[in-house]
Amino acid sequence: MATLELDSITKTFQDGDEEIVAVDDVSMSIDDGEFLVVVGPSGCGKSTTLRMVAGLETITAGTLSIDDRVVNDVKSQDRDIAMVFQSYALYPHMSVRQNMSFGLEESTDLPDEEINRLVSETGEMLGISNLLDRRPSDLSGGQQQRVALGRAIVRDPEVFLMDEPLSNLDAKLRAEMRTELQRLQNDLGVTTVYVTHDQTEAMTMGDRIAILDGGELQQIASPLKCYHEPANQFVASFLGEPSMNFFDVTLDGNRLVGDVFDYPVADEVRANLGQTTDLVLGIRPEAIELVERKSDAHEFEMTVDVVEPMGDENTVYLHFDPDADPDVAETLVATIDGFTRVSEGDSVVARIPEDAIHVFDRLTGEALHNRSMEDAADQVDLV
């Protein structure tokens, strides 16, 4: 168990004469026993970051330390880390038992009986005791995934690294393994860095999540904080499904003026915006409420364009102007209760509550005003 510290880590690749920056000045520190999820779209540099921690890629600049020991130039095999790969990377010519013993045989001086005991114990913990004498090719995807995990766990490393370990599983198994992985990590208490592009995994598994885009760290915080208090527009749009609604607006006095609507803001919100006038208004679909009658400037008369029933909830696509061409008109996506009956073409009144709005600087994307997490929590309590 150990702490892991990335200090201004940068990675550049040479592509002909061009220099490609894959990871740009990323700093983060991971506590002992913490479960950190690194998430971002493909090509954001998350895997490269993980591979640098593993020692599979060289670090162009910055320092990497495990337990205050700088390991930039320490070889992979001497870093005492275990990694689970997306492809599982099992050794096809070895039995499950040999696969799991391999690391202990190579990295420790333990006697054979001790190695055997550890492998059997780990096999039991993961429920794969009956598979120990089989070859990887005789196992299902889920079983192979367990063996890959077992191979990492049995070594009892300082740090676990996982590179999209669940993405080759089907949806049901993935959900099961998600829970099981969390439980295992909790029990073992090993510092873990987990890379994924799946925002459900990011939201549900980690103590904290680090969101990367274009090689730069966008935000590192608890999942709920990232969700409710995003550092910028990218984080806001990346987390949440359906994703946050964004409208380009201009600040005019105490009003946010958009193409098709005006949104008055209170002084407390106004104070956060400072001198910036080119803004983006953001609102999460689930924060939008459908009300009976328009009674307030935060409510808008709208037309239902499309309804997607999900069972427990409906996703509805709303237009401000009933006559507008649906392909180009500004759309507001709202998530409402599954029992509320709305259908295409209906006229409805949508309320955009002021305590739930986010305001971003249109130029930099930086968040100027966020809903506060306390407010969000209060609302949940009320429901």
Contacts with other proteins, residue ranges (CB under 8 A): 54-56, 75-77, 81-83, 85-87, 89-93, 102-103, 106-108, 151, 155
Q: Nearer to other proteins by C-beta: 30 or 90?
A: 90
> What is the dihedral angle through the alpha carbons of 358, 359, 361, 367, rounded to the nearest 10 degrees?
-40
Give whichever of 114 and 344 is closer to other proteins, judged by the CB atom.
Answer: 114
Query: What Å distances lie between residue 101 and 118, 198, 207, 234, CA to CA?
Result: 9, 31, 30, 43
Asked if residues 349 and 291 have their Cβ atoms less than 8 Å apart, the reply is: yes
C-beta of 199: minimal distance to other proteins in Å? Answer: 24
Please say whether the beta carbons of 39 and 102 come within 8 A.
no
Angle at 19 between CA 14 and CA 25, to 5 degrees: 105
Shortest Cβ distance from residue 363 to other proteins (Å)? Answer: 41
Q: Report the residue number, 94 or 324, with the smaller CB distance to other proteins.
A: 94
Least spacing, CB of residue 115 vs other proteins, in Å: 13
84 or 318: whose CB is closer to other proteins?
Answer: 84
In the complex, least distance from residue 98 CB atom to other proteins, rounded to whole angstroms:
9
Q: How far is the CB of 76 from other proteins (least distance, A)?
A: 5
User: In this structure, what DSSP letter does residue 305 have?
Assistant: E
Residue 236 class from Cβ within 10 Å (0-12 exposed, 13-18 middle, 19+ buried)?
buried
State how far the Cα of 315 lies from the Cα of 308, in Å rounded to an integer: 5
CB 295 within 8 A of CB 313: no
Give the whole-angstrom CA distance, residue 351 versus residue 168. Answer: 41
Q: Which is nearer to other proteins, 151 or 228 (CB)?
A: 151
By beta-carbon proximity to other proteins, the closer residue of 83 and 265 is 83
Contact 64, 56 (CB under 8 A): no
Question: At what angle are helices 141-153 and 96-107 packed, to 10 degrees?
Answer: 20
Place of tokens 């102007």: 321
Q: Which is nearer to other proteins, 2 or 81 (CB)?
A: 81
Question: Smallest gap, in angstroms, from Cβ of residue 72 to other proteins?
Answer: 15
DSSP 188: H
Q: Considering beta carbons, is residue 11 or 151 the nearer one to other proteins? A: 151
The smaller minimum CB distance to other proteins, of residues 151 and 174, is found at 151
Q: Do residues 221 and 373 make contact, with C-beta atoms less than 8 angstroms apart? A: no
Give yes or no for a contact between 168 and 199, defined as CB atoms under 8 angstroms apart: no
Distance CA 143, CA 128 (A): 8
By beta-carbon proximity to other proteins, the closer residue of 79 and 319 is 79
Q: Please, what is the end-to-end C-alpha distance for the chain in angstroms?
A: 41
Minimum distance from residue 151 beta carbon to other proteins (Å): 8
CB of 322 to other proteins, least distance (A): 54
CA distances from 2 to 81, 164, 165, 183 (A): 10, 22, 22, 19
Least distance in angstroms from the C-beta of 93 to other proteins = 5
Q: How far is the CB of 197 from other proteins (least distance, A)?
A: 17
SS3 at position 51: helix
